[in-house]
Amino acid sequence: MSKQAYTVCFCFSRRFKHALAEAPPEINTFFQNYSENELMTPSQLQRFLVEVQKQENATIEDAQAIIDSLKHFHRKGLNNESFFKYLLSDNNQPLPPSLGVHNDMTLPLSHYFIYTGHNSYLTGNQLSSDCSDVPIIRALKRGVRVIELDIWPNASKDNVDVLHGRTLTTPVELITCLRAIKEHAFETSEYPVVITLEDHLTPDLQAKVAEMVSQTFGDTLFYPTIESLKQFPSPESLKKRIIISTKPPKEYLEAKEIKEKGEASQHGKASVDEEALGKEALNIERGTIADVKDNIVDEEDLNDDDDEEDSDESDTKLQNNGAPEYRRLITIHAGKPKGGLRESLKVDADKVRRVSLSEGQLEKAVITLGKEFVRFTQGNIVRVYPKGTRITSSNYNPLLGWMHGAQMVALNMQGYGRSLWLMQGMFKANGGCGYVKKPDFLLKTGPNNEVFDPKAKLSVKTTLKVTIYMGEGWYYDFKSTHFDKYSPPDFYTRVGIAGVADDTVMRKTKVIEDNWLPNWNEVFEFTLTVPELALLVIQVLEYDMSDKDDFGGQTVLPVWELRSGIRAVPLYSYKGEKYNSVKLLMRFEFN
């Protein structure tokens, strides 16, 4: 036991004892019940693994391996201290590390939730941050499988840049981003990377992009031999392949038509580029952040407006005027037929496609066309993106898209906070490969043509009982005055479920004052109607009487993969980085 001193009012010190972590009473009781003469033998540990940890296939050899890994002087078993050490070890994770990729990966891409980024090249806010390949590399290393690139002509109109159009973001060359994707695409996962292109190019620059993409990726690039697919290929068949998804190019072609019509008139003073970029783009070039902050609109918000959607007929016409070598590389065709959301979500038996919706359009669609939405996503792909007013790279709740079957729920990977934590939690499932198979009820249609309705009143399938015993590690990962200058921290834990409306709830423990090693020993029960879409949200905060409570760690875990038993739960920083030492000791039980 050591002591910590905190200076108060510059004239005296308060001293607090800092003890080593001690096992909670219930852990001591488990040890007593599964040991004899203060020693837990391999056979007794194996019984504990089966009966408490619910590891039905655990063998005596498994138990002996745990004993050997702890490197203590009792080769014949565990004493109380080493048993507690095992429970808090990294070998006792809440998700089963041995499972790896265990979903069926041979189904069409539309059968999976896919880890998707929005404006993947931005280093910060949506308005004035730098564009770079660095956030793309970071996203790929975290398992993101869908990278979005907005491609525009460079200043001299002879090459292609990536930037957020109609903003003050500084561009990065497209070739830099493509090379970064090639080098890092499969470091974390061997399953396919989709590049979604938001295209603002002339046909000659499209041809240049096609050449760039083909030369950069070579045989890694996959594209079909036919223009329209009746069914998407599977992640398994696309291992270590790059695929392109974009909607038919139109902006510059439409602008060219406007210019040609205007040449016969004295009023047509605007150039092709001015028409294509919009008048506000020219104002931005001469103005400041303040000039455009109130008027920023995501490019796709403009293109996907309900009253001005793209018709298949006009798309075909425009495609025929574009670069054929560019069109040939598109595997997932994007675009929407004329006629609003209802037409957009009509299933075409002869071809599959991708539809892009803003978060606002998603909210509207699930209210008025919820069943049509779910039915459409059984074979087609829906991509949802943040609204353009999210200048700070904030995010929306991804669960609304997932529970209706949307595969590509795109979030700003720079927008740290709860929404991104939910995304990171979802894709811890299935070995962290970036693809999670959708539950069967989102893929099937019932006998009366019925589909899953997340708003329906459903019966309880299971109850998750969560015990929060204690936490440790802050003393090692934080400065002694990080949370409070005058005393040790006052920690409490928030725990709950994010899922369908009937399952969503948050609870919290009591506050443990002045203690780096909080022992809560509290139990919470959560009834679950749709456990297949439930995420367990855990967040530790430090209570502050006069200010906002300080952040002390978080994690989100997919309930459907959660291991029963007493587990060491590692916590992550606000930005999603795993702490070296901070963890909670918790127990999970399903009834």
More confident residue, 99 or 55: 55
Strands 381-385 and 535-542: unpaired
* pLDDT higher than 90, residue 25: yes
- Residue 352 CB burial class (10 angstroms; 0-12, 13-18, ≥19): buried
pLDDT at 271: 33
Strands 435-437 and 12-18: unpaired
pLDDT at 249: 55
Lowest mean pLDDT of 4-8, 48-52, 294-298, name the range. 294-298
Residue 118 shares a structural domain with residue 208: yes
Does residue 276 fall inside a structural domain? no
Lowest mean pLDDT of 133-137, 240-244, 477-481, name the range. 477-481
Computed over every residue of the chain, the mean pLDDT equals: 87
Nearest to 587 by CA among 43, 24, 78: 24
Residue 521 shares a structural domain with residue 435: no
Q: What is the CATH number of the domain that holds 38?
A: 1.10.238.10
Q: Residues near 98 by Cβ (< 8 Å), separated by ≥ 6?
A: none
Residue 337 shares a structural domain with residue 208: yes
pLDDT at 3: 54
Q: What is the mean pLDDT of residues 114-136?
A: 97
pLDDT at 285: 35
Contact indicator for 249, 318 with CB cutoff of 8 Å? yes
pLDDT at 74: 62
Does residue 4 fall inside a structural domain? no
**Strand order in 462-472's β-sheet?**
505-508, 491-498, 535-542, 550-558, 565-572, 578-590, 462-472, 519-528
pLDDT at 449: 82
Q: Biggest alpha carbon distance in the chain?
A: 100
Q: What is the mean pLDDT of residues 537-547?
A: 93
* Catalytic (active site) residue 164: yes
Entry pTM = 0.88
Helix (H, G, I), strand (E, B) or coil at 355: strand
Interatomic CA distance for residues 83 and 31, integer angstroms:
7
Residue 334 shares a structural domain with residue 408: yes
Nearest to 485 by CA among 5, 12, 3: 5
Q: What is the DSSP string of 209-266?
A: HHHHHHHHHGGGB---SSSS-SSPPPTTTTTT-EEEEEPPP-HHHHHHHHHHHHTTST
Residue 223 shares a structural domain with residue 141: yes
Contact indicator for 553, 573 with CB cutoff of 8 Å? yes
Q: What is the mean pLDDT of residues 235-244?
A: 98
Q: What is the mean pLDDT of residues 36-46?
A: 95
pLDDT at 226: 85
Q: Which of 118, 200, 333, 404 is catalytic?
A: 118
pLDDT band at 311 (very low <50, low <70, confident <90, very high): very low
Give me the torsion for CA of 332, 337, 340, 343, rounded to 10°.
Answer: -90
Q: What is the CATH number of the domain that holds 574?
A: 2.60.40.150
Does residue 531 fall inside a structural domain? yes
- Looking at the chain, the whole-number percentage of residues with pLDDT higher than 70 is 83
pLDDT tens string 343-396: 999 999 999 999 999 999 999 999 999 999 999 999 999 999 999 999 999 999
pLDDT tens string 70-119: 876 566 899 999 999 999 999 999 999 888 999 999 999 999 999 999 99
Lowest mean pLDDT of 165-169, 278-282, 519-523, name the range. 278-282
* pLDDT higher than 60, residue 291: no
Q: Which of 111, 164, 200, 333 is catalytic?
A: 164
R_g of the chain, CA atoms, integer Å: 27
pLDDT at 303: 43
* Catalytic (active site) residue 118: yes
pLDDT tens string 3-18: 565 555 555 555 555 5
Residue 461 shares a structural domain with residue 430: no
Beta strand spans in 9-145 (E): 12-18, 112-114, 116-117
Lowest mean pLDDT of 147-156, 238-247, 300-309, name the range. 300-309
pLDDT at 227: 79
Q: What is the CATH number of the domain that holds 202?
A: 3.20.20.190
Range of the domain at 531: 457-590
Does residue 346 fall inside a structural domain? yes
pLDDT at 319: 45
Helix and strand counts by DSSP (H, E) for the chain:
20, 22
Does residue 291 fall inside a structural domain? no
Amino acid, single-letter form, for residue 503 = D
Does residue 104 fall inside a structural domain? no
Residue 343 shares a structural domain with residue 432: yes
- Residue 172 CB burial class (10 angstroms; 0-12, 13-18, ≥19): buried
Number of domains, the chain: 3
pLDDT at 257: 54
Does residue 194 fall inside a structural domain? yes
Residue 87 shares a structural domain with residue 147: no
Does residue 310 fall inside a structural domain? no
Interatomic CA distance for residues 311 and 21, integer angstroms:
65
Lowest mean pLDDT of 89-103, 136-150, 266-280, name the range. 266-280
pLDDT band at 299 (very low <50, low <70, confident <90, very high): very low
* pLDDT higher than 50, residue 403: yes
Give the H/E segment covering residue 426.
helix 418-426
pLDDT at 546: 80
Residue 81 shares a structural domain with residue 157: no
Residue 330 shares a structural domain with residue 372: yes
* pLDDT higher than 80, residue 20: no
Contact indicator for 371, 405 with CB cutoff of 8 Å? no
* pLDDT higher than 60, residue 252: no
Residue 358 shares a structural domain with residue 503: no
Residue 73 shares a structural domain with residue 153: no
pLDDT at 270: 34
Question: Which residue among 409, 442, 475 closes a domain?
Answer: 442
φ and ψ of 155, to 5 deg: -60, -35
